[in-house]
């Protein structure tokens, strides 16, 4: 209806009826009533003409009035349009003056309008068309996120607000909303660092959104789909494509519909109701489909299951949803109704119990299933099976969950959870295989027990503190060392509590000691290190401690009471010092006595030589024999004194080698001459047959000549001493692989097998075959001097009798060492 038409029609009717009313109420009209009908007909044309004139006059008057009113309304409209245009310009100026960009989609088929200072908000931009080119001014991740959220805003009206990162190290706040039914995108520079999370403005918290539901349905083995608020498919899973037979290479682009238009209309009506709802659709190609629909915060979702009975009769969509859900579980699950009939099960249930799925699809009674499993020897071995089965079947009267442990003959252990089904329709059984879990728990408990026993068997007190300062692990020795009641120590004891407990048990210094330890134990500095030390307590106890940093941030502390050990250590140290002092006194005494022996020994040898020379007068044969014995014994005593002095210098660590290039022939001659001179008592009593063989072309030999002569002299003297008069004693010098071997052989009684390993020790070898021979120092000195030169000494028995001693000495190596 056009504005103003109703008043005009009403006014015209009012003016048209006014002449008629005047005529009916006038006296003339009263007289007319008295006229006959013929007279009235003759006067009618005049009345009509008068009425027409009056109506034309009124219509002209009203037309003029309407024209003036129209002109006034048009003027007002022009003035209002001018005001609106000015207001619009003002608002656009305000938007352009604000530090944000606004993009408005007024018409879905037209380009959006961009309002705002683009160059101020986004750097390096020239035109407004570049605002929606997000890849140019946002990072790749933020650009992708904005594109997806903007697509949801334009398609489903999903509002959002979040922070985005710009490519020029800028931060933006991007907000998408529906304003008066039109999508609006607002972009502003961010100053604050906090992000504003997106919250659905009107959806219930219990409803899922399209993105979340799409991720969940992708895991289903049944065809599933998600639609937006307009009913358009926006996401389907792989099972959907597989049901329709769509190849993988053709799964991009437009998604084909599973249902026809009539079915879609029915399903759309179902989806408008709150909560999930399940209906049965008879598909021409795929047969019976049990379809469950859900309402989302910004659309709808659904999935279809082939071959299941309709739930319309029960009107319980949870039953269909339960079937799809439990098929995704690896844990065996079975659902029985109120009459103990199997209604749902998953593949894991059939596989675990090795049951035929065709038989399970007949919905057998639980008693039949239990009896079959018992016959196959898969149920627990119970003495009274009927009583056990009756107890198990009491699950149908449960009001809350019940758990039982089944120990199967196969060695597996099941935790059977029986839960009442919704609306008291039966029982849901979940069979958790806890065999490995129990084995792990058993091993863990065994390890913990071994750990506790091991810790308690330690002599040390052990404590482990967590990063929160609480005692995580300890043994009984901790209580004994610090005199703390054992019941006061547990995993909740804080180190501050231990400080106070030690202050009570050791009032003199216990608290102060643990205050110092606490500052180091709870130190969380990344540069902290381990620490050890000794604590001297006021009660006289000495405690050694060690603080070790563990990799997980915890701290291990050990304490050892070393009071007795320290006392023993002090006694041993004092005794060792006394022994060292005595040894030094012994060495000094031996050296002094040895030097003191040399003076009278020299006099004895000198007078013996004077007597044998005849200068003091001629001696008879018997007197000469006595003088030679004196001279021989004096020489032997002098050799013994030299050996003692050598050992003394070696033990004191002051023995040195005077290395030089030596003539091996001269060394051997000196040693042999010394032996002959020492043992010669008379011309007719030379006790040995000495044979010396020195090989030609020996390598250069660098050593301490005096020490080598002493080694050879001791070997030859030892051989002579253990040989019978006239027996052969030989000395051979040969070269082997750049080394020089001194080989001494005799024809004596030989050395017993039990003495070979210790013959080179001091004071050994004195008694061989019942004969006393020397002080047992000669071979010890041989071994010592050979080792000082880098050589070795070996001794072996000869067959049928005799002994062989081999001294293996380096030649060139020693020469190189001496040259350096």
Mean pLDDT within 571-598: 77
Does the domain formed by 210-322 have CATH 3.30.70.360? no
Pairing of β 333-337 and β 426-433: antiparallel
Report in angstroms the alpha-carbon separations of 625 from 412, 628, 681.
104, 5, 7
Q: Would you call the peptide bond into 242 cis, given omega within 30 degrees of 0 as the criterion?
A: no
pLDDT tier at 732, thresholds 50, 70, 90: very high
CATH architecture of 98-189: 2-Layer Sandwich (3.30)
Which residues in the chain are classed under CATH 3.30.450.20? 210-322, 330-430, 441-561
Report the alpha-carbon distance of residue 451 to residue 341 in Å, rounded: 51
Give residue for tokens 């009593």.
Answer: 685
Which residues in the chain are classed under CATH 3.30.565.10? 656-819
Nearest to 188 by CA among 278, 88, 116: 116
pLDDT computed for residue 4 by the predictor: 43
CATH architecture of 656-819: 2-Layer Sandwich (3.30)
> What mean pLDDT is reported for the chain?
77
Q: Which CATH superfamily is domain 441-561 in?
A: PAS domain (3.30.450.20)
Report in angstroms the alpha-carbon separations of 363 from 335, 360, 479, 686, 733.
10, 6, 65, 122, 106
pLDDT computed for residue 379 by the predictor: 92
Confirm if 426 and 337 have CB atoms less than 8 A apart. Answer: yes
Interior angle at CA 699, CA 695 and CA 700, nearest 5: 125
pLDDT computed for residue 705 by the predictor: 86
**Tell me, which fold does domain 330-430 have in CATH?**
Beta-Lactamase (3.30.450)
Q: Tell which wins on pLDDT, 16 or 274.
A: 274
pLDDT computed for residue 414 by the predictor: 92
pLDDT in tens, 526-560: 777 888 998 988 888 888 999 998 887 889 999 99
Q: Is the pLDDT of residue 435 over 80?
A: yes
pLDDT in tens, 755-784: 776 777 765 554 444 444 444 567 888 888
Q: Is the pLDDT of residue 204 over 50?
A: no
Report the alpha-carbon distance of residue 674 to residue 757 in Å, rounded: 28
Mean pLDDT within 31-39: 49
């Amino acid at each position: 209806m056009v504005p103003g038409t109703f008043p005009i029609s009403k006014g015209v009717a009012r003016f048209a009826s006014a002449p008629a009313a005047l005529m009916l109420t006038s006296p003339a009209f009263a007289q007319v009533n008295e006229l006959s009908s013929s007279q009235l007909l003759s006067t009618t044309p005049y009345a009509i003409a008068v009425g027409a004139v009056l109506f034309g006059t009124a219509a002209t008057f009203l037309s003029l009035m309407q024209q003036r009113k129209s002109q006034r309304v048009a003027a007002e409209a022009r003035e209002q349009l001018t005001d609106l245009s000015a207001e619009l310009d003002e608002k656009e100026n305000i938007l352009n003056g604000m530090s944000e960009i606004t993009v408005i989609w007024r018409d879905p088929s037209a380009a959006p309008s961009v309002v705002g200072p683009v160059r101020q908000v986004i750097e390096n931009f020239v035109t407004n068309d570049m605002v929606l080119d997000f890849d140019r001014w946002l990072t790749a991740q933020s650009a992708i996120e904005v594109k997806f959220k903007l697509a949801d805003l334009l398609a489903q009206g999903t509002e959002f607000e979040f922070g985005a990162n710009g490519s020029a190290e800028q931060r933006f706040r991007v907000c998408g909303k529906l304003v008066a039914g039109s999508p609006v995108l607002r972009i502003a520079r961010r100053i604050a660092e906090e992000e504003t999370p997106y919250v659905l403005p009107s959806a219930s918290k219990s409803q899922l959104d399209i993105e979340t539901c799409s991720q969940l349905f992708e895991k289903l083995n049944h065809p599933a789909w998600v639609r937006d608020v307009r009913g358009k498919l926006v996401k389907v899973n792989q099972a959907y494509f597989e049901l329709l037979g769509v190849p993988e290479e053709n799964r991009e682009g437009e998604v084909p519909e599973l249902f026809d238009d009539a079915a879609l209309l029915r399903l759309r009506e179902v989806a408008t109701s709150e909560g999930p709802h399940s209906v049965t659709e008879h598909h021409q190609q795929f047969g019976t489909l049990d379809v469950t629909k859900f309402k989302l915060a910004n659309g709808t979702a659904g999935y279809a299951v082939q071959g299941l009975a309709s739930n319309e009769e029960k009107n319980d969509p949870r039953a269909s949803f339960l079937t799809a859900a439990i098929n995704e579980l690896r844990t065996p699950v079975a659902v029985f109704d109120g009459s103990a009939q199997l209604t749902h099960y998953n593949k894991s249930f059939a596989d675990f119990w090795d049951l035929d799925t065709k038989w399970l699809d007949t919905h057998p009674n639980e008693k039949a299933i239990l009896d079959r499993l018992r016959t196959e020897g898969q149920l627990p071995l119970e003495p009274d099976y009927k009583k056990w089965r009756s107890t198990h079947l009491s699950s149908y009267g449960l009001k809350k969950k019940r758990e039982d442990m089944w120990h199967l003959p196969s060695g597996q252990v099941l935790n059977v959870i029986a839960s009442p089904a919704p609306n008291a329709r039966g029982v849901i059984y979940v069979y958790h295989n806890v065999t490995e879990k129990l084995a792990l728990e058993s091993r863990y408990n065994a390890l913990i027990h071994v750990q506790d026993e091991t810790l308690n068997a330690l002599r040390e007190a052990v404590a482990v503190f967590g990063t929160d300062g609480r005692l995580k692990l300890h043994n009984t020795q901790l209580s004994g060392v610090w005199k703390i009641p054992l019941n006061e120590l547990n995993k909740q004891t804080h180190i501050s509590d231990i400080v106070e407990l030690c202050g009570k048990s050791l009032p003199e210094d216990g608290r102060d000691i643990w205050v110092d330890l606490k500052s180091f134990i709870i130190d969380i500095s990344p540069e902290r290190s381990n620490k050890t030390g000794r604590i001297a307590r006021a009660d006289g106890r000495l405690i050694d401690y060690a603080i070790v940093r563990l990799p997980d941030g915890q701290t291990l502390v050990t304490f050892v009471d070393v009071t007795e050990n320290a006392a023993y250590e002090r006694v041993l140290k004092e005794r060792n010092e006394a022994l060292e002092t005595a040894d030094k006194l012994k060495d000094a005494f031996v050296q002094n006595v040895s030097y003191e022996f040399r003076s009278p020994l020299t006099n004895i040898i000198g007078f013996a030589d004077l007597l044998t020379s005849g200068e003091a007068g001629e001696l008879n044969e018997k007197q000469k024999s006595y003088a030679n014995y004196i001279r021989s014994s004096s020489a032997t005593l002098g050799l013994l004194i030299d050996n003692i002095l050598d050992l003394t210098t070696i033990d004191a660590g002051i023995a040195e080698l005077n290395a030089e290039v030596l003539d091996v022939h001269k060394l051997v001659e000196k040693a042999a001459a010394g032996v002959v001179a020492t043992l010669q008592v008379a011309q007719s009593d030379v006790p040995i047959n000495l044979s010396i063989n020195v090989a030609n072309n020996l390598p250069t030999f660098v050593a301490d000549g005096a020490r080598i002569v002493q080694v050879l002299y001791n070997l030859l003297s030892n051989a002579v001493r253990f040989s019978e008069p006239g027996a052969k004693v030989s000395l051979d010098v040969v070269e082997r692989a750049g080394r020089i071997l001194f080989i001494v052989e005799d024809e004596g009684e030989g050395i017993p097998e039990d003495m070979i390993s210790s013959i080179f020790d001091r004071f050994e070898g004195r008694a061989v075959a019942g004969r006393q021979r020397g002080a047992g120092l000669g071979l010890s000195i041989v071994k010592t001097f050979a080792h000082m030169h880098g050589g070795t000494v070996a001794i072996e028995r000869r067959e049928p009798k005799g002994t062989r001693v081999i001294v293996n000495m380096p030649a060139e190596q020693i020469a190189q060492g001496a040259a350096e």
